[in-house]
Amino acid sequence: MSMRMESSGSRKGPTTPFELGLKALADRQYDLAVKLFSDAADAGVRRAEALSKRGVCRLHMEDRRSAEADFEAALQADPRHAPALTNLGNLALEDGRLAEARARYEAAISADPDYALAHHNFAVLLKREGKVGDSVRELRLAAKLEAGSFWDFLSGRRRRT
């Protein structure tokens, strides 16, 4: 019995502005990705995610002010959007605004307890605060969640963007 392979012609590539934006972001075509995520947000398609991803692009383009505005806009669309909360925490941490960073990371973890990146970045904050034991526990949890996300992704149970 021979093995059958799916032909490459039947595979569906990215078609929506959001999907195309993800591809452009992965390809480091940030200007294009900003436009595509803007189109997706304007169409109301995954608005919070599109605005947050647009903010990530703008960080890569070294436009912090616009990135922060995008993350705030994402929270207007969905106040519990963990990636936007985490990115705002990152900006606060980079600026030394530790109380604000803590509040953002805690809000992200409350919104999505399985969001590994929020736990990882919260661990960075805890270390900066001198809470090494707590930091290590958060890092271990982040690693466990990341491994779980990977296996969930492979099994088709969960997909993170």
CA distance 111 to 89: 14
On whether the CB atoms of residues 29 and 55 are closer than 8 A, the answer is no
* Whole-number pLDDT of residue 151: 53
pLDDT tens-place string over residues 19-29: 999 999 999 99
Q: Where are the domains of the chain?
A: 17-79, 80-161
On whether the CB atoms of residues 149 and 160 are closer than 8 A, the answer is yes
Homologous superfamily (CATH) for 17-79: Tetratricopeptide repeat domain (1.25.40.10)
Least confident of 3-7, 51-55, 68-72, 113-117: 3-7
**DSSP string across 25-69:** HHTT-HHHHHHHHHHHHHTTTTHHHHHHHHHHHHHHTT-HHHHHH
Closest of 47, 101, 53 to residue 79, by C-alpha: 47
* Whole-number pLDDT of residue 12: 77
Provide, rounded to the nearest whole percent, the portion of the chain with pLDDT above 90.
73
Would 17-79 and 80-161 be classified into the same CATH topology? yes
* Dihedral (CA of 74, 49, 103, 98) sign: negative
pLDDT tens-place string over residues 90-149: 999 999 999 999 999 999 999 999 999 999 999 999 999 999 998 889 888 888 888 866
Class of 80-161 in CATH: mainly alpha
Q: What is the DSSP letter of 3?
A: P
On whether the CB atoms of residues 81 and 73 are closer than 8 A, the answer is no
* Whole-number pLDDT of residue 73: 98
Residue 99 corresponds to which tokens in the numbers above?
A: 């109380």
* Dihedral (CA of 104, 110, 116, 135) sign: positive
CA distance 82 to 85: 5
> Of all residues in the chain, what percent are helix, strand and coil, respectively (each to 5)?
75, 0, 25
Asked if the model's pLDDT at residue 1 lies above 60, the reply is no
Helix (H) or strand (E) run with residue 5 in it: none
pLDDT tens-place string over residues 144-156: 888 866 555 545 5
Residue 138 Cα distances to 25, 69, 94, angstroms: 28, 28, 19
CA distance 34 to 90: 20
Asked if the model's pLDDT at residue 9 lies above 90, the reply is no
